[in-house]
Structure 1
Amino acid sequence: MSEHFISVRDEFRHSIDRAAAIKREAASIDRYYELDEIQLVQRYDRFHELDQEQLPAEQRQTVDFIIQALLGRIEYKISPSFRQQLEQEAQQTNQLGGPNVWEKL
């Protein structure tokens, strides 16, 4: 019974951390103009991973909004040859997997 309580508590903290990270990112979208290409792609990768998870409707809408903002800025900023290189690196990174996405934000 105690282990179940701990896992529920951890899951609750996990969802609160994720929600807070999503809100922080949504509030900082204006700073995307200051980021370089690599930083934009790294943020996109993190939110693309979150997009694959089960999220409450409000978080899903916010994540979709953030992804669209990132894609718009990436498209504006990245040249076609550099974009191809980044896509290859992103595919390699996605194959490696990683720990909790929201902790990286």
Structure 2
Amino acid sequence: MASQFHQLRILVWKNWLGVKRQPLWTLVLILWPVIIFIILAITRTKFPPAAKPTCYLAPRNLPSAGFFPFLQTLLCDTDSKCKDTPYGPRDLLRRKGIDGTIFKER
């Protein structure tokens, strides 16, 4: 256990010698993240986030559904319009050209 503390003490001493021998590099290492943070803070205050309405897109097949269903969805479906409400089962059937009368009204 004493050996680990001794190694830590030597490592801290070595680090201190680097700081003492290269003050300019130490200053750069300290100031660089501060400058980046200031740039980000100024950018954030100049361009505040704007609220955008929710956009629901039609569901699409993923590659795990198979190559051809994915390709069909990718190439044939151009229904990329934003809706302000989520898609329901009737919307999906209507999109496929199936009448939604198979659903019973409750």
Using the size of structure 2 for normalisation, the TM-score is 0.24
Q: Which has the higher contact order (CA 8 A, sep 6+)?
A: 1
Flag the structure with higher helix content.
1
Higher alpha-carbon Rg: 2
